[in-house]
Amino acid sequence: MGLTYQMKMKIPFDMADMNGHLKLPDVILLSLQVSGMQSIDLGISDKDMLERYNLVWIITDYDIDVVRLPHFAEEITIETEALTYNRLFCYRRFTIFDESGQAIIQMLGTFVLMDRDSRKVHPVEPEIVAPYQSAFSKKLMRGPKYPDLEHATSKDYHVRFYDLDMNGHVNNSKYLDWIFEVMGADFLTQHIPKKIHLKYVREVRPGGMIASSYDLDGLKSNHQIASDGQVNAQALVTWQKLKKEN
Amino acid sequence: MGLTYQMKMKIPFDMADMNGHLKLPDVILLSLQVSGMQSIDLGISDKDMLERYNLVWIITDYDIDVVRLPHFAEEITIETEALTYNRLFCYRRFTIFDESGQAIIQMLGTFVLMDRDSRKVHPVEPEIVAPYQSAFSKKLMRGPKYPDLEHATSKDYHVRFYDLDMNGHVNNSKYLDWIFEVMGADFLTQHIPKKIHLKYVREVRPGGMIASSYDLDGLKSNHQIASDGQVNAQALVTWQKLKKEN
């Protein structure tokens, strides 16, 4: 087991959607803040990684389970733990607990190291991950097969200036934003995700347009983000109908 | 002088733009978090206002002065103070200080109270603002005249699900997002605002489209957000050229 790191917070007004729920893209943003804080705490911040090794952490997959979404003003604890690593992949858990200690969201993220100059994946060196005290394990955690889209509905979105981070890359959370947005307000006020598989395939380039496509079969949707004729991300979402709350 | 309230924070990665600067719309979001926290602290949260008085705080104008924008990982302190009130308006200051105590952003916000059912402005009752210890002053702080646009450049934006808050309203910060976005990435990587006057005229309706228009004369731009043939917001921005930093 790796070291755990926690952040406690209250959901601010601007992170709540029309249902009063924490916005899904903010779940990713907040989680990455917490793992970033753990790295700083352990003396191996993203900045250190760049300066010492010329390496950047990249996320390739997310696997998200949602029991329920925290609501505005609710106090949550976000916990993260670097679980295991192998030659190429590091697996990290994020768990969101409510005030009673119930795990309401669980995320598994797959991280790889990328050389900043060659833009190629760099093997995970034990020295780099040692501070997290995660275990070496040959076991690969594989995502699902993402089937092709059938009868897809599609919508185009501009890649905006504020979608880009300091490195000129589209923020990870933005893909989830496009994946949800295309479902429309009617659907999103009546459903929340139960399970999300998300795979980042190829980076979206700044400045252009992306197409967010999906097909929906009952409570399962199959998603694709594409630009310039190439797939950027794929996702499979299982939805749950929202019970009316007070 | 009113009571002051402070929040200290470090700029997280996801709030930094391509220049490494805190995104302007996040300045508004963070400031409103701080005034919200002050209200909770004083026992008159937005929720209390609704339950006790059926009233909602609405912002009508912002006046923003930027010396410089804080950068990623920088520690800032956001301070707020309810300055004065009169029969209809409450004036609130937000100041962002850097670690050396230098004020780097100053905002003046004009707040009014709206009755939730009639959607009409409600007079400010001394009882409501008493906890903030702000002074009564007849003096009105008037914004500038917003001239008509000439030779405007315009772009259309969808109002997205995640642009809406719990009350189904477009978040205040979103207008600033549209006002900046239309300037384009080239301009925004070379300029930051020096002064912003922003006036909310009429609420943008969920679900539709808005047009963000502007004309630029030297380092001054004149902006308009419009939808369904009506003006929703107006802004005047004076820009400063960005000095290249390390």
pLDDT at A245 over 70: no
What sign results for the dihedral spanned by CA atoms B61, B67, B71, B76?
negative
CATH number of A144-246: 3.10.129.10
Q: Write the ipTM.
A: 0.86
Q: For residue A164, give the nearest of B7, B187, B140, B20 by alpha carbon.
A: B20
Cβ contact, residue pair A162, B207, below 8 Å = no
Q: CA B218, CA B18: separation in Å to the nearest integer?
A: 23
For A22-34, write each residue's pLDDT tens digit. 999 999 999 999 9
Cβ atoms of residues B9 and B31 within 8 Å: no
B192 CB neighbours in chain A (<8 A) are: none
What pLDDT score was predicted for residue A246? Answer: 44
Q: CA A154, CA A127: separation in Å to the nearest integer?
A: 45
Confidence band, pLDDT 50/70/90 cuts, at residue A208: confident
Confidence band, pLDDT 50/70/90 cuts, at residue A243: confident
The average confidence (pLDDT) of chain A is 94
Cβ contact, residue pair A161, B180, below 8 Å = yes
Cβ atoms of residues A54 and A75 within 8 Å: no
A73 CB neighbours in chain B (<8 A) are: 47
A47 CB neighbours in chain B (<8 A) are: 73
Q: In degrees to the nearest 10, what's the CA dihedral of A23, A194, A57, B23?
A: -10
Q: CA B63, CA B234: separation in Å to the nearest integer?
A: 12
Strand (E) positions, chain A?
Answer: 4-10, 55-66, 75-85, 90-97, 103-115, 121-122, 135-136, 153-158, 191-200, 209-217, 220-227, 230-241
What pLDDT score was predicted for residue B206? Answer: 85
Provide mean pLDDT across the span A125-146: 93
Between A and B, how many CB-CB pairs are < 8 A? 90
Cβ atoms of residues A176 and A28 within 8 Å: yes
- What six digits make up the tokens of B148? 């008509």
Give percent of chain A with pLDDT exceeding 90: 87
Residues of chain B predicted below pLDDT 50 = 246
Q: Are strands B75-85 and B135-136 parallel, antiparallel or unpaired?
A: parallel
Provide mean pLDDT across the span A37-65: 94
Q: CA A6, CA A234: separation in Å to the nearest integer?
A: 30
- What six digits make up the tokens of B147? 């001239």
- What six digits make up the tokens of A178? 């496009």
pLDDT at A42 over 80: yes
Q: Taking the mean position of all CA atoms in its chain, how far away is CA B167?
A: 18
Q: CA A74, CA A71: separation in Å to the nearest integer?
A: 6
Q: Which residues make Cβ contacts (< 8 Å) with residue A104, sequence separation at least 6?
A: A66, A67, A68, A69, A70, A76, A96, A97, A98
Cβ contact, residue pair B47, A73, below 8 Å = yes
Q: Report the run of H or E that residue A32 belongs to, with start and end.
A: helix A24-41
User: Longest Cα pair distance anywhere in chain A, in angstroms?
Assistant: 53
Cβ contact, residue pair B13, A47, below 8 Å = no
CA angle (B38 as vertex; A34, B125 as ends), nearest 5: 150
User: Which of B12, B17, B166 lies at the smallest CB-CB distance from A33?
Assistant: B12
CATH architecture designation of domain B1-141: Roll (3.10)
The 10 Å CB-count burial string (b at 16+, else e) for B164-197 is bbeeebbbbbbbbbbbbbbbebeebeebbbbebb
pLDDT at A217 over 80: yes
Give span(s): CATH 3.10.129.10, chain A.
1-140, 144-246
pLDDT at A49 over 80: yes
CATH number of A1-140: 3.10.129.10
Phi, psi of B142 (to 5 degrees): -95, 140
Q: CA B73, CA B67: separation in Å to the nearest integer?
A: 18
Q: CA B188, CA B22: separation in Å to the nearest integer?
A: 13
Cβ atoms of residues A177 and A158 within 8 Å: no
Phi, psi of A49 (to 5 degrees): -60, -40
pLDDT at A77 over 80: yes
pLDDT at A158 over 70: yes
B162 CB neighbours in chain A (<8 A) are: 17, 23, 25, 177, 180-181
Q: Which residues 206-245 of A are in CB contact (within 8 Å) with B?
A: 206-207
Give span(s): CATH 3.10.129.10, chain B.
1-141, 144-246
Provide mean pLDDT across the span A111-127: 93
- DSSP track, A173-216: HHHHHHHHHTT-HHHHHHEEEEEEEEEE-SPPPTTSEEEEEEEE
Give percent of chain A with pLDDT exceeding 70: 99
Cβ atoms of residues B103 and B67 within 8 Å: yes
